[in-house]
Each structure stands twice: as structure tokens, then as C-alpha cells.
Amino acid sequence: MTLLYSFITLFIYLPMILADFCGENKIPYGLEVYANGRASLQCSRPICFKKHYSDCEERAFKDSCPSKSAWVGGITSINPLLKNAFHVQCCEFEQLQNASVPLHRNMVISPGEYFEGEEVMDDLGLELTAFDVITDLKQIRHPNKT
């Protein structure tokens, strides 16, 4: 009887757990925040990144990824309306701090908005020379809203 109860409990709460993960061989280039507060991570694998892998944590459990050699590899939100329910999975890539220049800092993406990074090609449009990557995310709740 205990096994059946555990299965039913998991089934009931499963739809409330919302997650997006890029994995160890893709990078996050975009983020969409839906009107209900749920965040969706957009991932890509640039041509120049095909031979590289990052070292990702097993699951999303941190509030942010503050390391200069890390990016957000995944996000989990138990319920967008609950406080402290948003967590990130950090992926370490040692070459990141040597090969990158921060372009945007402290961007705020509100419900109903999105950010999408770009891939930059050379003048002939043949070779990828740069791409945007999301290195950190934090959920900031408006103080006057629940």
C-alpha cells in the first residue's frame, strides 16, 4: 500500500515541477518568461562548440551561478508563484573566462518578455566568430506582489 501511495503522490506533484536543461554539450542563448512567471531556457550547440563539453552539476539546486567560468545549464521551478522555488544548474567550462567578454549585465526579463542571444558570423557569413551565452540567472520577485 505504501508503494501505491508514493506513486500517486509523485504523479500529483509532477506537473508542478517545471524544468529546462541544455545538457553538457549545449549552451543557453535565450530565456523566455511566460505571463504566469514560468521560465523557459533556449539551448543551442554552436558549430565551434561541437568538440567541447562542460562539467555540469547533477541537478539544478543553486540560486545562481556566480563563477566566471560557468553558465546556466538548466533551470527548475517547482511553482513560479512560490518564493525560493527557482533553481539553476551550473555548468563549468574553464575556457569561458579566457574566451569571453560580458556584453549585458543585470538584464531584467519580466513576465511576457524574452531575451534571445545571437550568433555572429564573419564578413563572408561562412564562419562563426562569436555567440551569446547566459552565464547566470536569478529570480527576482517584485516586493509588492505575492
List all residues 6 or more positions away from 100 whose beta carbon is below 8 Å from its beta carbon. Answer: 133
Record the cell numbers describing residue 108, joined without a space: 531584467
Rounded to two decimals, what is the model's pTM? 0.73
CB 125 within 8 Å of CB 60 = no
Which pairs from 103-108 meet CB under 8 Å and 24+ separation?
Answer: 103/132, 108/140
Tell me what pLDDT residue 119 has.
Answer: 81
Tell me what pLDDT residue 56 has.
Answer: 92
pLDDT in tens, the chain (146 residues): 333 333 333 333 334 445 789 888 888 989 998 888 788 899 988 877 777 788 999 888 898 898 888 999 999 876 555 566 788 999 998 888 777 777 767 788 888 999 998 888 889 988 888 888 888 888 877 666 54
Tell me what pLDDT residue 72 has.
Answer: 92
In sequence order, what are the beta bridge partners of 53? none
Residue 62 is classified by DSSP as: B
CB 68 within 8 Å of CB 97 = yes
